Structure 1
Amino acid sequence: MPFPEDEQIEPAPGAFAWWRRLPLYVRILAAVALGVVTGLLLGDGAASLAIPAKLVLRVLGALAPPLILFAIVQAVINAPVSGRQSLRLTTLLAVNTIVAIVIGLAVANVLRPGEWVRMTPPVTNAKAAASAADPLTQFLDSVPRSIAGPFTDDGKVIGVILLAIAFGLSLRKLRNYPIQTVEDLVHVGLSSLVTILEAVVEVVPLAVFGVVASIVGAKGLSDFLALGGFVGAVIAALLLQGVYYLVRVRLGSWVRPAALLRGVRDALTMAFSTASSTATMPVTYRCLRDNVGLREQSASLGALVGANFNNDGTALYEAMSALFVAQMLGMHLTFSQQLMVVLTSIVASVGAAGIPEAGLVTMTLVFKSVGLPTEYIALLLTVDWFLDRCRTAINVMGDVTVSSLLDGKTPEKPVSPTLQNV
């Protein structure tokens, strides 16, 4: 049953309405610039400013398990595939994701950007200012580490109150939504969690400001060299994944790589500009049908169905992030631990296409799987806005590749000379 449009709540006008109208990446860039200035002015006194980042990561860690649960359930329920085509689609998606993670781990192990500059994360500096920020610290300790946390024997009643307020506000726009099927119930659950997540994302620029200010205040600008190396390593790995896609298309499809890139450039551009593979799905489908000439079933399975499961760029990024932080801390991840990173990244990436800032949400699960402290994710907030766009473009390129492979080696119609070029 198609879902009716949810009631939209317009943001209340106010002094900061202009700020909220700015794209998130613009707000993050402004927060980085302001954080640098504040860190230089306050020095070590900026350590306590990292507390908002701890709060954001605490909430993300609590939201991640139920978000992934509902996202996967909804994706599986709505997937209109069965039989051999379903098996083939699943196999292609799994292979592409595994290759992406292996490429990411290989690049991170070879370049080892985490060892270029040893950093002391700003969140650890906040401990030195705990006495000065005692009320904030006490409030942070009251924020649940998981959705079920406040209901355990040692749970705190303030955690129950915070959960009640969060879900009450998020369910206001769904209060008249009719629940007649299990699918409706899953939709309500996922929508309420996504609404809470969207509110958390609004605070990300504040967290970035605190992280940058505390880093610069404690150690100057030198620590950003390691982040620069990490960005370079991730981009190199994403480019290798792109090359892998084109080779697969050349060997397993009638479509030629150069013609494919020309045909879907609008989709790739939109993916990079919006950082949303979900928003790009209609454009991807249209490009595959009108510009490339794929069959309707192949285009829809890869661009519309596969997009809900295929997040190769996100999985690659999460695996590299875990290894980067481990290297930065001087920790050695064994083969079995890196295998756990692979498995967790695969599971966490499934169904994450419709989750805002999915990389940050699912990364908490990946870090916890190998015992990495999730507060170190705060260091990646300063560059995540850019890498999110890069990995989203690779996610869409993965959808395009799957569609081309599903179309086989024989085109539906005679191929134009443009599409025959290599």
Structure 2
Amino acid sequence: MKIKLWQKVMAGMVLGIISGYILKEQALILKPIGTLFINMIKMVVIPLIFFSILNGVTNMNDASTFGRVGSKAFFAYCFTTIFAVMIGLGFAIIFKPGVGLNIQLGTESVTHVQKSALEILMDIVPTNPIQAMAASNTMQVVVFAFFTGFALILIGDKGREVKNLVVSASHLVFKMIELVIKLTPYGVFAIMSWVVGVYGLDVMFSLGKFVLVVMGALSVQYILFGVMLFVFAGLNPLPFYKKMINTQMLAFATVSSKATLATAIKELQNKVGVSKQSASFLLPLGASINMDATAIYLGICSVFFAQVVGMELGMTQYLMIILTCTLGSIGAAGFPGGAMVMMGMVLTSVGLPLEGMSIILGVDRFLEMLRTTVNITGDCTITVLIDKSEGTFNKKIYYSEEKDDEEDYD
């Protein structure tokens, strides 16, 4: 029987903890392996940010085709994502999962020059995009990617060759990510060994609190989807949750929103009563720009790492976190490990060290399974709300009992 990646990661984490406990400070010899793994993640951050966001923007051509429906969905996705970040920040600020966990994470990266909101706004537009990429100025890269994408949309068919190049480059970057992710078990083993060996098992107890905080925030978001259905569509959310179980379990197992799309589209039509047009358009759009659970996770991690290194975050930093978490969740959409890579953009935006990611690698896979489940549930929720507002929603199908033999409601 083939061992799945998440099983390998969990095994690497457990073996790393045992190894670190046995070797004590001698586990430091494994630190270079973990450092190499982190460096590989850093290596792909900038190209991934650029091409994934550029690809996502150019794919919004479909939104102009459906006009009103697309604009409704876009603003709904943006609103829920921003609100999700604030949920994550709130949970991290209230429950303080990083307080008391004292680990040196590369203090050279922690120094942050205080800037006003106006200065930060002026700095996000690059004067030299190539230099911005070379300097790993993630916000400037994001702005350039959005600007390039909108320009490609405006020139239409004249940019077809460039769009094809962007798609190919995105596939290339995703394959690079896939190769890096496959090394995760070994990186986790090395990192957990030296962390436990040097800092002891107290680290594990602190991670337990971190996991509980993330799970609590995700649970609130999951419940809020039902509240949205009740308030904005006048629907009892229980049939929705019941009929989405199969889609949610597939998302949990595959850890990919895009891998779950085909099943989600079919079940929204056949079981929930969403029109074929809305299901086939809004869900793929949501998989590209709507990652509420990822936004929650990035927000919690930002405050968590700040608490670990003892960095006080001001209002400007929180606003920057909200902005970068929203953009980061867009770039992280649809592939396993995306949040860990996009976290680099969020951390660097407020002067936090990328090495902080090494602390949570061991528990990230489990949390990612939960995040993907919440993400696809959010996509489906917004699709139902928009379809209901357009008057094309079939309430009879929504409240009907599930059938063993599914029918097509085209």
Which one of the candidate residues 338, 346, 355 is aligned to 1:375? 355
Hey, what's the Cα distance between the residues in 2 that align with 1:95 and 1:325? 25
Q: Does 2:71 align with 1:81?
A: no
For 1:246 and 1:282, locate their aligned partners in 2 and report how far apart those are by CA, in whole Å. 22
1:207 aligned partner: 187
Equivalent residue runs for 1:97-108 within 5 Å: 97-108=81-92
Q: Give the gaps of 5 or more residues in structure 1.
A: 1-17, 125-145, 151-178
Match of 2:46 in 1: 65
Aligned residue identity for 2:176? I
CA distance in 1, matches of 2:400, 2:364: 36
Query: 1:217 Cα deviation (Å)?
Result: 1.2
Deviation at 1:371, TM superposition (A): 0.4
Tell me how far apart the structure 1 counterparts of residues 28 and 10 of structure 2 sit (CA, whole Å).
20
2:337 corresponds to: 357
Task: Show the counterpart of 1:28.
Answer: 9
Shift of 1:302: 2.9
Shift in Å, 1:118: 2.0
Structure 1 residues 416 and 293: alpha-carbon distance in aligned structure 2, compared to 1, 3 A threshold: closer
Higher mean C-alpha deviation, range 310-319 or range 48-57:
48-57
Q: CA deviation at 1:87?
A: 1.5
The corresponding residue for 1:270 is: 250
Q: Distance in 2 between the 1:119 and 1:51 partners?
A: 21
Paired AA for residue 357 in structure 1: G
* Count of residues in correspondence between the two structures: 353
Deviations 1:175-206 (A, max 9, x none): xxxx9722210122112212222111121111
Contact 1:123 1:211 in 2 (8 A): no
CA contact (8 A) 2:58 2:163 kept: yes
Flag the 1:81–1:147 CA change in 2: closer, same or farther, 3 A: closer
Say which SS state the counterpart of residue 351 (structure 2) adopts.
coil
- 1:55, CA displacement in angstroms? 1.8
CA distance in 2, matches of 1:106, 1:370: 18
Alpha-carbon spacing, 1:417–1:294, altered in 2? closer, same or farther (3 Å) = closer
TM-score by length of 2: 0.81
Runs of 4+ residues deviating >6 angstroms: none
* Mapped contact 2:258–2:335 kept (Cα < 8 A): no
Q: Report what 1:234 is aligned to.
A: 214
The answer as to whether partners of 1:255 and 1:419 remain within 8 angstroms in 2 is no
Taking structure 1 as reference, are residues 39 and 254 closer, same or farther at Cα in structure 2, changes over 3 Å only? same
Q: Which residue of 1 aligns with 2:103?
A: 120
Counterpart for residue 404 of structure 2: none
SS in 2 for 1:371: coil
Post-superposition shift, 1:123? Answer: 7.6
- Give the one of 299, 307, 321 matched to 2:279: 299
Alpha carbons 2:84, 2:295 under 8 Å: kept: yes
In structure 1, what is the equivalent of residue 319 of structure 2? Answer: 339
**Aligned equivalent of 2:24, options 15, 31, 43:** 43
Superposed CA deviations along residues 307-354 of structure 1, whole A, max 9, x for unmatched, are 111111111101100101111222111111011011001112214323
Residue pair 2:229, 2:235 contacting (<8 A) in 1 also: yes
Q: Secondary structure at the match of 1:114?
A: coil
Task: State yes or no: 1:320 paired with 2:300.
Answer: yes
- Cα distance in 1, alignment partners of residues 59 and 101 from structure 2: 46
- Partners of 1:285 and 1:244 lie apart in 2 by 22
For residues 281 and 243 of structure 2, what CA distance do their matches in structure 1 show?
A: 18
For 1:119, the aligned partner's letter is N
1:92 aligns to what?
A: 76
1:42 partner amino acid: L
8 A Cα contact 1:93 1:306, kept in partner: yes
Native 8 Å contact 1:63 1:147 kept in 2: no
Answer whether contact 2:70 2:282 (CA < 8 A) is retained.
no
Instruction: For residue 419 of structure 1, report the CA deviation from its aligned partner.
Output: 4.8
The amino acid of 2:48's aligned partner reads: L
AA aligned opposite 2:246: D
Q: Deviations over 1:228-258 (max 9, x none)?
A: 0000000100111112111111111254210
| TM alignment of 1:135-154, pairs within 5 A | 148=134
What letter corresponds to residue 203 of structure 1 in structure 2? L
1:351/1:85 Cα in 2 relative to 1: closer, same or farther (>3 Å)? Answer: farther
Runs of 5+ consecutive residues of structure 2 not aligned to the other structure: 108-131, 137-158, 402-410
Indicate the percent of aligned positions where both proteins have the same amino acid: 32
Task: Please tell me the residue identity of whatever aligns with 2:367.
Answer: L
- The match for 1:246 is 226
Aligned partner letter, 1:398: G
What RMSD, in angstroms, separates the aligned Cα atoms of the two structures? 2.4
Q: Tell me, in whole angstroms, the C-alpha distance in 2 between the residues paired with 1:393 and 1:267.
A: 8
Contact 1:249 1:256 in 2 (8 A): yes
Matched residues in 1 for 2:283 and 2:398: separation? Answer: 25
